[in-house]
Amino acid sequence: MDTIREKLSSYKPNIYCWNTSRLSEQFKTYDIEIGHPSIKIAILDSGCDYLHSELNDNILINKSKSMVPYEENIEDYNGHGTAVISSIIGKKNVKGIAPAVSILSYKIVDKNGYGELRWTINAIKLAIQENVHIINISYTSNKIDDIDMIYEYKEVVKEAISKGIYVICAAGNECKEIKQDSEKFPAYLAEGIAIASTDYKGELSSFSNYGVGVDFSMPSGGFSQGFPSQYGFVIVAKPRSMARLHLEDQYQVPKDYTLTMGTSISSALFSGTIALLLSRYYRLYKKLPKRNEILSLVKLSGKQINRHYSMVEVNTYRALNEIK
């Protein structure tokens, strides 16, 4: 814990941390709670660079696993999983929303971003066995036509929720309204909590999906008229093995980091916020709160998004302050 706090204090926030700065009201959450290591988030994604300095304090390597049969380790050859995880537990150039919680990394997509629903189902089953508190599914894919597989997915998610696990997913980046028959998976399945994206101005990001059942948003970028282009991005960690991009040179991003935007980061920030609230409650009362209590806190903390009045952008600091 001391090492994590030392890292947090040793690195000043950069301009690409504007999103977590807003959620935490200039990182005032760090003075209250940075996360409890007993609170566990399962990240279902492309694996992670678990030796990256942003991640290496928090990954439960022996509890992590690849579900991709031809990529047997959890090394991230895609970059998506490392980016998502750093948004939660980053503590240097990335200022994570809950930098001291524990992460189980389950690889469910390969280096090309391909994944099968069976791999996701298997990962959720394992996460339930490991008694995680939160399952984060930041990737999205096209609608699945296998009715039996969808039924099995719904049932395993229901099982997770029945055990008190929060199942959180990205709403997707196609600027579409999500409906029950939407082509985006898993956000169109109502069992989980789908998270949209807001931009630097606090409005729905131009790319973000939305719709009935998408009640929450978190800031993760998008170009806003009247603001410099750099505020369209947020900073995340990238695998150290990946080549440097022109974008990173253009915006003077540190080595082993990149810039991104998207509801994948929004989903991660929501998962991190839930983890932070659970951590605070557990630290104060030595037990965990009811699901509805936490979701109500999160809902009441936020502000309504213009044109999408059922949706709020969460304020992590305000929600955290309500746990006393």
Return the active site residues.
Answer: 45, 80, 264
Whole-angstrom distance, CA of residue 168 vs CA of residue 154: 13
Residue 88 near residue 195 (C-beta atoms within 8 A): no
Q: Is the dihedral of CA 300, 301, 305, 311 positive or negative?
A: negative
Give the tokens for residue 183. Answer: 């082509």
CA-to-CA separations, 115 to 71, 123, 183, in angstroms, rounded: 12, 12, 16
The angle subtended at Cα 101 by Cα 195 and Cα 233, nearest 5°, is 45
CA 14 to chain centre: 20
Count H helices, E strands: the chain? 10, 15
